[in-house]
A and B are shown apart, each in its own frame.
Chain A
Amino acid sequence: MAESMRTRALKVSFGKNEAVRGVDMDIEPRSVTAIIGPSGCGKTTFLRALNRMHDHTPAARVSGSVFLGEEDIYANGINPVELRTRVGMVFQRPNPFPTMSIRGNITFAPKRHGLARGRELDELVERVLRQAALWDEVKDRLDHSATSLSGGQQQRLCIARALAVRPGVLLMDEPASALDPTATQKIEELIYELKKEYTIVIVTHNMQQAARVSDYTAFFYIGDLVEFGETDAVFTNPREEQTEAYITGRFG
């Protein structure tokens, strides 16, 4: 299930502005890789290159390669729509579908992909809601609107929804930045559980969060991958001066 990812000379530019400038990174399966760096350093742009979300931005140009397992996801013949069932994404702001129920949010994509039907759908809903640690809170109101949930619950619903299409990799773009501390803690505990089965890449502004949840940390600065290694090493003994300056709060 959980797959590895590799990027080679990955560049993303918007017109003349090169937001990611040639990044080589190896992402280990069943681990959490955190991407940190100051605003505008290209971390979100990098993350969105991993499931080809830039395909929907006409001005964006991507070059280099991204491998999912052994497959180059930018090669001819790779369908970005199909790819995204293997590389899921959770966004900064919770974005459940307001017209659908809690259950409907989860079953929407699996139904379209023919992954489950009838009773299987009920089992799927329960399974992913349990994985997202939301089942006990919503099991009696699955037919209520997704917008009736709190912000933190909505974000966990979005995680459950992403898990329902059975991706091997889950990309998370500052998933807790719009949430309060309690909800943030729940998301972090959830990430810790999910890495047993999934490969997780998380972009975060919060360095304590990176230190708490991740196994590997990548520090980006102005589109370059400055430092990448095991989280303990990056935080306690950074090789690069820029990394040290950033994590000790001298800039950012």
Chain B
Amino acid sequence: MTGVGMPLRLRARLFRDAVLVALCVVALACAVVPLVWVLWDVVAVGVANLSLEFLTSLPAPPTIGGGGWANAIVGSVVVVGLAAAIGIPVGVGTGIYMSEYGANPLGRSARFLSEVMAGLPSIVAGVVAYGVIVVTMGQFSALSGGIALSLLFIPIVAITTQEALQMIPKDQREASFALGVSEAPTTLRVILPAAMGNVLTGVMIATARVVGETAPLLFTVFNSRYWMEGLDRPTATIPVNIYSYAISPFEHWHEQAWTGAFVLVTMVLTLNVAARTLWARRARFMAGR
């Protein structure tokens, strides 16, 4: 069709289409540009000061310079590991209940509470863990931090697990029932494995969410300048270190805060890629390739 013969109304419609697409592109740019900018800063400034010393040694006094965040890296891995160790079984279990047995008031309340908890301001989780665990134990500890983070971890995993299980077709359950297999093994051996890709995505989202949380850790693990001494002791973590180094008056510490942020982002990314790679083989098998 040539432009000359094009009816006016069609031209107006095509113009509106073009405007809509343009608006979407502008919105996309507003979303992506700051993200790329932040990542670029973290990488550029962070990598500049990345060294073996940073990854392997303890913090040095600001007046001396040098030193590393090895204790905080270990602390973050342990605290987030604790959150996952609590959050994965509890979250997946809750999700299974809500999906497979949840057509009752208990199941519906669990879903409602999970949604509320998923929107819980993280500092509230910290205050709760402080009140319940830190006060009872009489000291800050890695354990209380892991529990505070698990409060944020559980609802994300529970909701994604429920939704992942609901996506598995009913005929898979019936196939198993028709073989005389009862409900529990059907859920654990047929439905959950088939939904595992999406459950794993939920676990990754939850991990990424909690690994950078700072507020709940301030109340719970607090901080330490030494290697971790035990789950019942205050512990250094990357996010709390970033916070305290960034507000310090020392230029050298500011640079280390950037490097810490870079290490944190890299850890999340590596974990994601590793999980995806491991999962890809399984997904290919399930797709029959």
Contacts and interface: CB of A to CB of B under 8 A. Distances in A.
Interface string A44-55: 000000010100
Contacts of B285: 99, 145
B189 A89 contact: no
Contacts of B189: 108
A91 interface: yes
Contacts of B174: 53, 56, 89, 91, 95
Nearest to B170: A56
A158 B178 CA distance: 11
Contacts of B131: none
Given A98-B194, A109-B180, A93 B286 contact: no
B175 A97 contact: yes
A244 B273 CA distance: 64
Nearest to A52: B177
Nearest to B171: A95
Interface in A60-113: 81-85, 88-89, 91, 93, 95-99, 108-109, 112-113
B158 to A, nearest CB: 22
Contacts of B181: 81, 108-109, 112
A149 interface: yes
A79 to B, nearest CB: 9
Contacts of B171: 91, 93, 95
B173 interface: yes
Contacts of A147: 286-288
A13 to B, nearest CB: 20
B180 A82 contact: yes
B185 A112 contact: yes
A109 B182 CA distance: 10
A161 interface: yes
Contacts of B196: 99
A39 interface: no
DSSP class of B's interface residues: helix, strand, loop or mixed?
helix
Given A85-B180, A97-B194, A109-B180, A145 B288 contact: yes
Interface in A132-190: 144-149, 158, 161-162, 165
Nearest to B196: A99
Contacts of A161: 179
B51 interface: no
A81 B178 CA distance: 8
Contacts of B179: 84-85, 88, 108-109, 161-162, 165
B55 interface: no
A82 B189 CA distance: 18
A34 to B, nearest CB: 20
15 contacts: A56-B174, A91-B174, A93-B171, A97-B172, A98-B288, A99-B193, A99-B194, A99-B282, A108-B189, A109-B180, A112-B185, A144-B288, A162-B178, A165-B179, A165-B180
Given A84-B179, A99-B196, 9 more contacts: A56-B177, A91-B171, A93-B171, A95-B175, A97-B194, A98-B288, A108-B189, A113-B180, A149-B288
Interface of A: 51, 53, 56, 58, 81-85, 88-89, 91, 93, 95-99, 108-109, 112-113, 144-149, 158, 161-162, 165
Interface of B: 103, 169, 171-182, 185, 189-190, 193-194, 196, 282, 285-289
